[in-house]
Amino acid sequence: MLSTFLAVLRRDLLLAWRGRADVMVTLAFFVIVVCLFPFGVGAEPNQLRAIAPGVLWVAALLACLLSLHRLFAQDYADGTLEQLLLSSEPAVLWVLAKILAFWLTTGLPVVAVAPGLALVLDLEQGALPVLAVSLALGTPILALLGAVGAALTLGVRGGGMLLALLILPLFVPVLIFGAGAVEAEASGTGALAHLLLLGGGLAGALALAPMACAAALRISTD
């Protein structure tokens, strides 16, 4: 069982490495969105500092959303997905491996870049570790929830916009607790409660989303 998990994980990471330009595009998108905000709201440091947690989190959320279509589309097109579903291995396992590979190639780079980018918005330096931790806990939830939406919209016309409509409302709690954690840390009230809730959310999503995603993939390839 573990070997399936590792095999799918390694395969997806290898594919991502071959198509690393896509990964770079996601990261570039994240950086550019964040850098757009000062042009829109003005470069006044206090204002930028106030909106920094929200801006960083919304940008991370959009970057995740825009790369979600990559999660299953390729495997759906070349029939790999059907083969995987026909195999005797439990679907939850390799679905989880695929989501993990997806997060490692899109979520993790965002987590790594965000603290540096936060300095552009003049976010308080003491809040940088919390920003990284909140993103590290929150972006996997986005990937897990998003995977369900991506599985449901496979091969559907207008799939991209549909995916956004389906899952953006579900992202709201993650956004609230993620950006809230950074804000709470910056304002000195402590981020522990937010981070614990994010952790709880991650545990819940880990338990439920792969099952829903596997069911959705079965429906979509039927």
Partner 1 sequence: MASGPKDETIRMNSSTRGPSLLRFAAPQNFYPLAGRLAPWFAAIAVVLTLAGLWLAFFVAPTDATQGNVYRVIFIHVPAAWMSMFIYLVMAFWSAVGLVMNTRLSFVMSQALAPTGAMFCFVALWTGALWGRPTWGAYWVWDARLTSQLLLLFLYFGFIALTRAIEDPRRADRAGAIIALVGAVNVPVIYFSVKWWNTLHQGASVSLTKAPSMAATMFAGMLVLAFASWAYTLAVTLWRVRPMILERERHTEWVGAVLDREGGRT
Residues that bind partner 1 (CB under 8 A): 145, 148-149, 152-153, 156-159, 162, 165-170, 172-173, 176-177, 180, 201, 208, 212, 215-216, 219-220, 222
In sign, the C-alpha dihedral spanning 48, 53, 55, 60 is positive
Query: Does residue 32 contact residue 158 with C-beta atoms inside 8 Å?
Result: no
| DSSP E strands, 57-153 | none
Minimum distance, C-beta of residue 152 to partner 1, in the bound complex (Å): 5
Minimum distance, C-beta of residue 14 to partner 1, in the bound complex (Å): 30
Query: Does residue 172 contact residue 46 with C-beta atoms inside 8 Å?
Result: no
Q: Which residue lies nearer to partner 1 by CB, 111 or 197?
A: 197
Q: Which residue lies nearer to partner 1 by CB, 72 or 177?
A: 177
Q: Which residue lies nearer to partner 1 by CB, 84 or 141?
A: 141
Minimum distance, C-beta of residue 151 to partner 1, in the bound complex (Å): 9
Q: Which residue lies nearer to partner 1 by CB, 130 or 212?
A: 212
Q: Which residue lies nearer to partner 1 by CB, 140 or 180?
A: 180
Minimum distance, C-beta of residue 19 to partner 1, in the bound complex (Å): 27
Q: Which residue lies nearer to partner 1 by CB, 32 or 207?
A: 207
A 10 A CB-CB count for 115 gives: 18
Q: Which residue lies nearer to partner 1 by CB, 116 or 155?
A: 155
Residue in 64, 75, 152 with CA at minimum distance from that of residue 104: 64
Minimum distance, C-beta of residue 187 to partner 1, in the bound complex (Å): 10
**What is each CA distance from 146 to 1, 38, 139, in whole angstroms?**
25, 29, 10
Minimum distance, C-beta of residue 162 to partner 1, in the bound complex (Å): 6
Minimum distance, C-beta of residue 96 to partner 1, in the bound complex (Å): 17
In this structure, what token pair is assigned to residue 121?
Answer: 């918005």
Residue in 174, 186, 177, 179 with CA at minimum distance from that of residue 49: 186
Q: How many CA atoms lie within 13 A of 3 on its CB side?
A: 0
Q: How many CA atoms lie within 13 A of 126 on its CB side?
A: 9
A 10 A CB-CB count for 197 gives: 18
